Structure 1
Amino acid sequence: MVEVNAIFSGCNCELQVFDYNDQTRRIAYGAGNTVAITTPFSKNLDVRLCQTLKSHTAIVTVVKWLPEHQLLISGAEDGVTNIWKYTDDGTFSIKQTFEEDEEKSSITCINSPAGDEKILIVGRASGAVEVWSMAEDGSEKFSLFGKFEINSEFYPLSVSAIEVRPEQLVVFVGGTKPNLYVYSLDLNNAESITCAAKLEGHEDWIRALAVKRIDEDEFVIASGSQDRWIRLWKLCLNEKIDNSDQDKSKLRLLSNKLYKFTIGGSTRCAVNFDAIIMGHDDWISSLCWHATEMRLLSASADSSIIVWEPDPVSGVWISKVRLGEMAIKGASTATGSSGGFYCSRWIVDEVYGREIVLTNGKTGSFRCWYHENEPKDTNLGPKTAEYLQNASLTGPSGKVTDVEWSKTGEYLLATSLDQTTRLFAQWTKHSREEQAGRCNLDTDKAPWHEFSRPQIHGYDMICVKPITETRFASAGDEKVIRVFDEPKSVADLLLQLTNVAGGNESMPESASLPVLGLSNKADLEDIEEEIEKEADRPESGDELRRSPDESDGPEKHAKTNMLAGLQAPPLEDHLQRYTLWPEKEKLYGHGFEITTLDVSPDGKLIASACRSNSEKHAAIRLFNTDNWQQLDQTLAGHELTITRIRWSPTGEYLLSVSRDRMFSLWQKGEDGQFVRLALQPKAHTRIIWDCCWIPSSISRCMFVTGARDRKIKVWQLENAQTTVSNICTSERFSSAVTALDAYSGSVAKHAILAVGLDNGLVYIYSVDNRGSLKELLQVDPAKTPDGSISRLSFRPPRHEDTGRIYLAVGSADHSVRILSFGVAELGIEGSNDL
């Protein structure tokens, strides 16, 4: 049985993209085209992604739980709203799909009245707001009650609703106008949807709404806008309405307009402005009321979260807690800024007696703060608590383009179109306190976490390959290959928390990315430059004359100190600021953007290729890692872009496949020159996407190719190494073959081959020494990605793997997955041992 050991997928940057279910204690969030589901919160706040729900064909924009009915609502840019039913065994199934909009316009917001999950309010980019009601027959099916549009130039960004009386609703709609629109409706009359009021006050688009019941007939509505202000509005019913504005005998000095309306002829309502809250420096993106107390949480694009509450004497709303950071508007994540917060949730965890604040940011990662039990009585107030930050969910926020294991298989590198390279490893070494609660922690079951973000680039990342255990080469959507060395601070962190071996004294301490730069710079170099500057300064009075830029010496060591004291995986703050790897070299020579690279098994040569529509540029360039110089020889032959390059396990052969439907095979001579053994025309009938080598223990020169023609072919070098023959061809798969990899070990004299398809399916095959293919298993589609498989990579054999084979899967659905399966489960005769 194939197990899912880890899934990493970043959260989409949307305003209502995740939600928490207080009954199942699970988080659901939009990750690419899928809905990601986490494990329940544990005592130590450990939460991991366990499955992704596949149905949408575009980016998921809204996710909403209905805990009472155990339903999960998801909306996406494809215009579809899905209703998922959750069962106690942890599985989901689609119960219903809304597709009423002919234009298939994107879903922008979804909400339901507090305490009444039988009503759904759905907003679309077309400007329509739909009201859906649940049937009374127990089927939990929704039907369209009605819909309305505000005007042709408006589309909703947030909606909120209040059931003021049974079957009577007040709906608040905010969006691409400064006005907050109020609608009333009676569920007993489909024609009752009426625009009751248009609340003025904001100066820009309204992006967030939150409603709280104060009393039986009194509610408060918070609205957050791009004007950086939060406005509070009060909704009163019947006897709670202040009618003093109708008493002409009273002197009217100041007026606060009451917007009055009636629902169903019996319920009188009035809305008026109540208070304004100022404190954020950028757009308000999310608002949440506390479940039981009169406190409001706001998240903003200024990368801060503030908890507000009214002063008990004056009633003025003041800031009690501020989380996040003091950020510059529009600051890049490469400078350490989180790029602002989007959706946020205020979670009251009654099981473990704590409060949790959760938010997602521009990098796709979550940030989690918590405080336990009752807040301490401090001089700031009785309800002020110290919030602590905890590591949370991380993952790529763009299409994953490459995944590669380190030489020993201790960690995994992944690149994606979110312009980052990430390092994932198992957290095997916990603190004593946590170990006490984790009896006999199994290394195979140790959780996977992101421990470093070696590269935060200005270009989309395309490929990566380790050179040694502490050095790798990567290429973005540019003409340059960049080589990175592990800093000592990251090496020490991995040694402390994982099984990865430590660093040495010659390593740079840490790295940083200069403003407006693309090259990570070792801070050791900065310290040496600072020492040289100090030697040139006059000895007397120099401290008084030093500029702020010259007094940052101690800050150079802060990065090392921040990682040295960690007893748990790094936080998002650490990953962005303190885990970069310094860039050692740049390799030039290509005329266009690089598409693929590979490193020889001995780490001496780097082979790479770039985009091309001519034979001139469709050549393989070789670089020597001893002096980082390009070799004089270029390996030409292809006519179009080379899609993949692979060295043979012994380093003797070099294989490339291309969009021109050919593969080329080169052999390295004793003099270091390469001789072309084959240039196979029409090896496939469509583009060849990938190739891999069968282990040398099975055959000295056997390899596999996979193409858009939906076939894989096994080839072998024969006749005294002068002829390449196609010795086996598979049946057609259901979709194009986009990724291949072979396990570097062998099982009962058989090679293990993984095949990834364009539709996200993954197959495992065996290959014997005659090249015969046999399907061993198909990975359960529920465990595979929703997008094209961009790369497969088997973990190198290790003694600790206890009869299991690990496979990393990178996909266009923004996910990195680590799957594993037992050798004995493959059904190969004599496969009890690796």
Structure 2
Amino acid sequence: MANSKFENVYISSNCNQCPNALHWGNNNLICYASCNSVCIYDPEFGSGGKVVQSLAKHTALVNSVRWLKGSDVPFENEIVSGSADGDVIVWTLNDGKFSHNILKGHNSNIAIVDGMYRQEERMGATVVSGSMEGNVKIWYRPTCSDAFVLRQTLDFGYNICISMRIYTLDLLSNHIILAVSLDDSSIRLFLEDDTSQELNLKPAAKLKGHEDWICGLDFTRDGGDLLLASSSQDNFIRIWRMTRQEKSALNSSAVNMKTSKWNFKIYVESILIGHEGWVYSVSWNPINNTLLSASWDKTMVIWEFDKEHNLWLDNIRVGEVGGNTLGFFGGVFGPDGDTIIGYGYHGAFHMWKNDGVDWNPMVTVGGHFRQVVDLAWDPKGSYLFSVSSDQTCRIHAPWPTEKSPITWHEIGRPQVHGYDMNSIAVFSKYKYASASEEKVIRTFAAPSNFIDNYIRICKVDNDHHIVADNTTAKGASVPSLGLSNKAVFTSDNNAQSQVKNSKEIYPEESYFTALDLDEPPTEETLLQNTLWPEIRKLYGHGYEVYGLSASSDGKYLASACKSTTQEHAAVLLWDTADWKQIQKLISHTLTVTQMCFSPDSQRILTVSRDRRWSIFEKNEEEKFVLAATTNKATGIHTRVIWCCAWTHDSCFFVTGSRDGKLAIWTKNPDKAIENVLGQYQSASSHLSLPKDSVTAVATAPCLISGQFLFAVGLESGNIHFYKWTIENLWQLVLDLSESIAHHLTVKKIQFRPVLGQTGKKKDDNDILQVATCSADYSLKIFNLFIKNL
């Protein structure tokens, strides 16, 4: 890191909501699909794991990812991914960096991909991809230095490929067997033609038995036999055994599959009944032939063959308990065979590890599963809030441990709402307001149970006295059909012991239990036991609230709603002491897209879809009055202004627009008031990025080498960092491309309000942290090394 300008500290993003979107390689790295990207998750990093990289080249949702596997390749270094854009991409890891090879041939959504290495050739590989247009394509690469070439297309007419798995028929011949499940509830088997010099797959058998779509397939070897596990939406799992026989030994009672030398008898060894919902995936243990199944009934089951009774039994059952969840999309074994990971409907990860006696839940990574639309540091930079169109507000914080590097995790989910979230404003460490697709603003305060757990997990000084009193809630719960987080007090918990069933007080989905945690909570705990109680609802807007902003002193809250008229485009100002509306600031005629208080809390800057900005200044009567605005004659921007920000000294402010311009403004007390600008004027020439739109901007909390530092987020997902002074103007010092920053629109950027790294008690004034969020479902935190900028 000696000469590096930055490092990625945290990537927060959940898995896509589809089967086959996660795979765990023998290299102990997990790849999973997240929006249009592939994320690389190292579960062994630090004490809680870390998403170390995101790979972005797809232009639509990634539906399937797999590590290329092979018995003679101990550690995989290639991933194949398929997307709704119709592209298949092979990612190759060399010297710590991934290169990509795009395979074009499909004209429709890619549903499933798989790939494997060939034993006889050095890094030669075969990749298969199935699309919604009813075909499977086979791609082949003779050696690692060659490109993949389309060798064959298997056409199924009007049948759609649901799942697929490729494997070697036996260790001696190295010939390929391909299993494809179609929407007619059948499995088609294809064998490599062993009489041909070229790769060619021929139909070999058709397996029937399931009564609904087959969503999961997986092969393993049992001695000289092959086992194929299939899981279906009929709630059943079937295990098919393929036994090799002499060519002449045909069996009329079983399905026969032939090669030029051998005949394979295929029969159902067992039907596993134990799930009460669709079974989306099956995965064999790489160490022993136990089978993991993941189902829509909120459980994952490990099945083991009992030799004494000659039966497959459900040996271990784990899963989600409570909360608003809908079960599992998939689950896989780790390379050690003693760890399993699954992901649910909301993309959240669940990991369990076997200690020899029990399977214990483990700390995992996670994040939002829809656009992350806003974020905010608490005033001291202790942790980070984020809100998303997945209808949740989440808190992210570092987890320091003595012997391992710091890892970031979600430590709280204060709000699980029923509307898509739009904005958040943080007043203090333990108090915030949020807005969603409704006319109401909701304010929240931290319960004592969250504060206790935060102090233990993050190992910070006890500041419980800031909010602790007799009225502080222990936690919060949400009624089954409600949207408001209701406070739960200690007396409520004591009353539970007086009833036979504690659920008589709280419905199953919202039941709160106070927990003492020493490590980041699991998904089930986050859903139910980290909610913050709602303290006040604020009414006043006529349409859905679009944006919020809090003053740096925490005394004021500004809010704006969606609007097409001047009446509803007014900014409402609230006093946070009593939550009363104290002013209505009128200037704009269309939706105010962002508001920003100056750091000294004396001015409010607003920008709008009407292509104007406005400044409201506090007068002697403690009222905010319109001091300046722009119009067509005085403005610089020609398109909607998306973002704005003040410099740390309250002397300058910047505005960013869809026209790709970033303008900087200042107040000149000596300027005569000649027009609507008042005493405000442009501070220098504007920055122009004509090929992109400026969607987010932030300023550093201090001067960097005597200059202002600006972070500029773009619609493309790129983030640029510029230094600026009146003398030196705009100097690009750092450019984060889509592979590092984001691959869709940057929604918000905010620097940590103080220098140094969150979670480290030792001050480090050479590091500045910046948080970013995007429409690509991700939130990221970067360390900027000030000396190298």
TM-aligned CA distance change 1:145 to 1:160, over 3 Å: same
Find the counterpart in structure 2 of residue 248 from structure 1.
none
Matched, 1:386 2:386: no
Find the counterpart in structure 1 of residue 415 from structure 2.
455
Find the counterpart in structure 2 of residue 382 from structure 1.
none
Matched, 1:152 2:158: yes
- Could you tell me how far 1:657 is from its partner in structure 2? 0.4
User: Matches of 2:105 and 2:488 in 1, distance apart?
Assistant: 57
Superposed, 1:265-664 pairs within 5 Å as: 265-325=260-320, 336-349=323-336, 355-372=338-355, 375=356, 385-428=357-400, 430=401, 435=402, 437-438=403-404, 446-498=406-458, 499=460, 501-503=462-464, 504-505=468-469, 506-524=471-489, 527=492, 549-550=503-504, 559-560=513-514, 562=515, 564=516, 566-631=517-582, 633-664=583-614
Matched, 1:685 2:638: yes
1:306 maps to a residue whose letter is V
2:212 maps to a residue whose letter is D
- Could you tell me how far 1:497 is from its partner in structure 2? 2.1
- Could you tell me how far 1:616 is from its partner in structure 2? 2.2
User: Matches of 2:423 and 2:119 in 1, distance apart?
Assistant: 49
Superposed, 1:192-207 pairs within 5 Å as: 193-207=201-215
Q: Unmatched 5+ residue regions in structure 1?
A: 246-256, 327-334, 376-384, 439-444, 535-542, 827-834
Report if aligned partners of 1:234, 1:271 keep a CA contact under 8 Å in 2. Answer: yes
Find the counterpart in structure 1 of residue 684 from structure 2.
728
Report if aligned partners of 2:480, 2:509 keep a CA contact under 8 Å in 1. Answer: no
- Could you tell me how far 1:556 is from its partner in structure 2? 11
Percent identity, please.
Answer: 30
User: Matches of 1:49 and 1:170 in 2, distance apart?
Assistant: 34
Find the counterpart in structure 1 of residue 180 from structure 2.
173
C-alpha deviations, 1:185-206, integer Å up to 9, x for none? 4162779644333322211111
TM-aligned CA distance change 1:552 to 1:786, over 3 Å: closer
Find the counterpart in structure 2 of residue 22 from structure 1.
26
Which sits farther off after the overlay, 516-525 or 26-35? 516-525
Report if aligned partners of 2:291, 2:304 keep a CA contact under 8 Å in 1. Answer: yes
Superposed, 1:794-813 pairs within 5 Å as: 794-798=751-755, 800-813=763-776
- Could you tell me how far 1:551 is from its partner in structure 2? 7.5
- Could you tell me how far 1:553 is from its partner in structure 2? 13
- Could you tell me how far 1:133 is from its partner in structure 2? 2.3
Determine which of 109, 119, 130 is the counterpart of 1:105: 109
Report if aligned partners of 1:167, 1:186 keep a CA contact under 8 Å in 2. Answer: no
Determine which of 779, 783, 786 is the counterpart of 1:816: 779
Report if aligned partners of 2:299, 2:327 keep a CA contact under 8 Å in 1. Answer: yes
User: Matches of 1:644 and 1:92 in 2, distance apart?
Assistant: 37
SS at 2:683's partner residue? strand
Bigger helix share: 1
C-alpha deviations, 1:101-145, integer Å up to 9, x for none? 2x243343434489797322211111111122221x552532222
SS at 1:783's partner residue? coil
Matched, 1:49 2:55: no
C-alpha deviations, 1:256-299, integer Å up to 9, x for none? x4122423x43323322221101011111111112232311111
- Could you tell me how far 1:547 is from its partner in structure 2? 7.1
2:555 maps to a residue whose letter is K
User: Matches of 1:787 and 1:637 in 2, distance apart?
Assistant: 32
TM-aligned CA distance change 1:553 to 1:754, over 3 Å: closer
User: Matches of 1:814 and 1:115 in 2, distance apart?
Assistant: 39
User: Matches of 2:712 and 2:509 in 1, distance apart?
Assistant: 48
Report if aligned partners of 1:84, 1:92 keep a CA contact under 8 Å in 2. Answer: yes
Find the counterpart in structure 2 of residue 538 from structure 1.
none
User: Matches of 1:337 and 1:635 in 2, distance apart?
Assistant: 40
Report if aligned partners of 2:108, 2:131 keep a CA contact under 8 Å in 1. Answer: no
TM-aligned CA distance change 1:679 to 1:244, over 3 Å: closer
Find the counterpart in structure 1 of residue 760 from structure 2.
none
Determine which of 736, 739, 747 is the counterpart of 2:696: 739
Find the counterpart in structure 2 of residue 694 from structure 1.
647
TM-aligned CA distance change 1:466 to 1:552, over 3 Å: closer
- Could you tell me how far 1:519 is from its partner in structure 2? 1.1
User: Matches of 1:715 and 1:449 in 2, distance apart?
Assistant: 38
- Could you tell me how far 1:745 is from its partner in structure 2? 2.4
User: Matches of 1:592 and 1:521 in 2, distance apart?
Assistant: 25
SS at 2:246's partner residue? helix
Report if aligned partners of 1:364, 1:397 keep a CA contact under 8 Å in 2. Answer: yes
Report if aligned partners of 1:712, 1:729 keep a CA contact under 8 Å in 2. Answer: no
2:210 maps to a residue whose letter is H
TM-aligned CA distance change 1:525 to 1:687, over 3 Å: farther
1:788 maps to a residue whose letter is T
Aligned residue pair count: 754
1:7 maps to a residue whose letter is I
C-alpha deviations, 1:514-535, integer Å up to 9, x for none? 112111111118819959x98x
Find the counterpart in structure 2 of residue 7 from structure 1.
11
Which sits farther off after the overlay, 743-752 or 113-122? 113-122
Find the counterpart in structure 2 of residue 253 from structure 1.
none
Find the counterpart in structure 2 of residue 211 from structure 1.
219
Report if aligned partners of 1:494, 1:501 keep a CA contact under 8 Å in 2. Answer: no
Which sits farther off after the overlay, 766-775 or 207-216? 766-775
User: Matches of 2:628 and 2:503 in 1, distance apart?
Assistant: 59
SS at 2:684's partner residue? strand
- Could you tell me how far 1:559 is from its partner in structure 2? 2.2
User: Matches of 1:426 and 1:152 in 2, distance apart?
Assistant: 51
Determine which of 252, 258, 265 is the counterpart of 1:262: 258
- Could you tell me how far 1:413 is from its partner in structure 2? 0.5
SS at 1:348's partner residue? coil
2:368 maps to a residue whose letter is P
Q: Unmatched 5+ residue regions in structure 2?
A: 672-677, 757-762
1:303 maps to a residue whose letter is K
User: Matches of 2:425 and 2:724 in 1, distance apart?
Assistant: 25
User: Matches of 1:97 and 1:548 in 2, distance apart?
Assistant: 56
SS at 1:574's partner residue? helix
- Could you tell me how far 1:701 is from its partner in structure 2? 4.0
User: Matches of 2:507 and 2:243 in 1, distance apart?
Assistant: 59
TM-score by length of 2: 0.90
2:311 maps to a residue whose letter is V
User: Matches of 2:680 and 2:505 in 1, distance apart?
Assistant: 65
Report if aligned partners of 2:247, 2:263 keep a CA contact under 8 Å in 1. Answer: no
TM-score by length of 1: 0.85
2:305 maps to a residue whose letter is P
C-alpha deviations, 1:332-358, integer Å up to 9, x for none? xxx624421112111133xxxx71101
User: Matches of 1:500 and 1:53 in 2, distance apart?
Assistant: 38
C-alpha deviations, 1:477-530, integer Å up to 9, x for none? 221111111011110111112236533244211111211211111111881995
User: Matches of 2:732 and 2:294 in 1, distance apart?
Assistant: 51
C-alpha deviations, 1:418-441, integer Å up to 9, x for none? 11111111113x3xxxx2x34xxx
C-alpha deviations, 1:654-698, integer Å up to 9, x for none? 1110111111111122323321112201420111110011222xx
SS at 1:126's partner residue? coil
User: Matches of 2:52 and 2:501 in 1, distance apart?
Assistant: 51
Which sits farther off after the overlay, 473-482 or 177-186? 177-186
